[in-house]
Amino acid sequence: MLGIDEASLALLDNLQRRYIEALDRRDMEAWLDCFSQDADASYFCIAAENVERGLEIALMYDDCRARLTDRVTFISKVWTGTFQPYRMRHFVQRIGTPILDHGKLSVVSNFSIATTPEGGSSSLLAVGQYEDSVVLDRGELRFLRKRAVYDTTVLPRYIVYPF
């Protein structure tokens, strides 16, 4: 295992920025593009309450690339017109030192997501940590696995977009 250099850190931070920009724009194709093409590319959004008790039930359980793609289909095609799109601003802060092991970078970041409904005031949607595994894919860093562990015991509303 190795620490990583400044240039790699910059690339890693750039990936985090692309990710939160995609979600802030509610651009699900851009969200998908932050993940590796690997068939095992995965995204999990899970309550800290479950993680702490060793329970696997998640808010979103996309354990393969196909299900990542399907989530994009649901949000942008199946659910069209059903939900009122809500504005989000993601804030992300890398914590600890990223670790490089066998071509995979492991990195942990804190996140918070503020939301503002149409005609309403802003509030926190969720806070938590991203636990990411990042690989080089098509010349760029992309997520092989991303797990958003949210502290927010009671979510303030129903959820459409990934954290």
Partner 1 sequence: MRTNDALATSVPRAVDARLYHEPDVFAEEQRRIFRGPVWSYVALEAELEGPGAFKSTFVGDTPVVVTRDQEGALHAWVNRCAHKGALVCRAPRGRATDGSFVCVYHQWAYDAQGNLRGVPFRRGLKGVGGMAQDFDLAQHGLRKLRVANLCGMLFLSFDEKAPPLEQFLGEAMCYYIRRVFNRPIRVLGYARQNMRGNWKLYSENSRDGYHGGLLHLFYPTFGIYRPSQESAGEVDEVGFHSAFTVSKPSQTDGYENYQREANREMSGASAGAEMLRDPSVLTFRPEFDDNIALLIQSLFPSVVLQQIQNTLATRQIVTRGVAETELVWTYFGYADDDEAMTRHRIRNINLVGPAGYISMEDGEAVELCQQGTAGADGWSSFVEMGGTDVVPKVAPIGLDENAVRGFWTGYFALMKGAAEVLP
Within positions 87 to 146, which residues make up the interface with partner 1, using CB under 8 A? none
The mark string for 69-98 relative to partner 1 (x by CB under 8 A, - otherwise) is xxx-xx--xxxx-xxx--------------
Q: What are phi and psi of 29, to 5 degrees?
A: -65, -40
Residue 157 in contact with partner 1, rule: CB under 8 A? yes
Judge contact between 115 and 123, C-beta under 8 A.
Answer: yes
> Among residues 2 and 78, whose Cβ is nearest to partner 1?
78
27-56 binders of partner 1 (CB under 8 A): 45, 47, 49-50, 53, 55-56
b/e string for 76-87 if b means 16 or more Cβ within 10 A? eeeeeeeeeebe
Measured from the Cβ of residue 2, the count of other Cβ atoms closer than 10 Å reads 9
- Residue from 15, 64, 100, 108 binding partner 1 (CB under 8 A): 64
Q: Which stretch binds partner 1 (CB under 8 A): 26-34, 60-68, 101-109, 129-137?
A: 60-68
Nearest distance in Å: CB 93, partner 1: 24
- Which DSSP string corresponds to 34-92? TB-SSTT-EEEEEEHHHHHTT----SEEE-SHHHHHHHHHIIIIITTTTS---EEEEEE
Query: Which residues are at the interface with partner 1 (CB under 8 A)?
Result: 45, 47, 49-50, 53, 55-67, 69-71, 73-74, 77-80, 82-84, 153-160
